[in-house]
A = this chain, B = another copy of it.
């Protein structure tokens, strides 16, 4: 049975919690380790949701959906190239922000400022040399990410540091849901309530199992690590005042307003 876990702040204190209907029950410890369930229950609407995990390493897949590659190639006037192995990259923790937090558009950023709605696998069990057929045993649950990107900077920044890792460019949440089959999910992206993209979440070039097996040949995964699985389609531009939502069926909806840097 699926369980829904979050990190939240209430009364100045941060903790993980188990969501039960409209309330959240604080736990001592992280959900993927031995923990105690406390008797501290809060209305979900009364707490501030935090990013559901603070990863030790923040993995992502650069380019992992065919249509996204085709559209990007078209814009640059080149032939699309599909990667023959997973494109393994990183994002930076400073950029993470929670469900509801503003995505702050830097003063000197350009108009081509875009969302990318992504499935996020949250690792629950340490592992190295994980075989593909056992990879999902290392996934604790699933959350949602928005890989916000400034495309002009993206062309110039070799490591995408600023293009994809400026503060607030990585909304993640609202929570983690366990025991789901990602192969049946649908990702829907809305800008100001209007649906702007919809794709089968599992329509990846390299699936979650392949990614985990490939990385873990050389790198140990630790509980709390995240893997962002890439996006499909051809994103539109966001501007201050907009609200971006990424919904993945059976997980929930990650919603963030865009504001201008003051």
Contacts and interface: CB of A to CB of B under 8 A. Distances in A.
Contact of A88 (B87, B95, B161, B220): B161
Contacts of A165: 218-219
A90 B92 contact: yes
Contacts of A166: 218-219
A62 B158 CA distance: 10
Interface string A72-99: 0000000000000001111011110000
Interface in A192-222: 215, 218-222
A48 interface: no
A151 interface: no
Copy number in the complex reads: 2
Interface secondary structure of A, over-half rule: loop
A57 interface: yes
Interface in A149-164: 157-159, 161-162
Contacts of A161: 88-90, 215, 218-219
Interface of A: 54, 56-57, 59, 62, 87-90, 92-95, 106, 128, 157-159, 161-162, 165-167, 215, 218-222
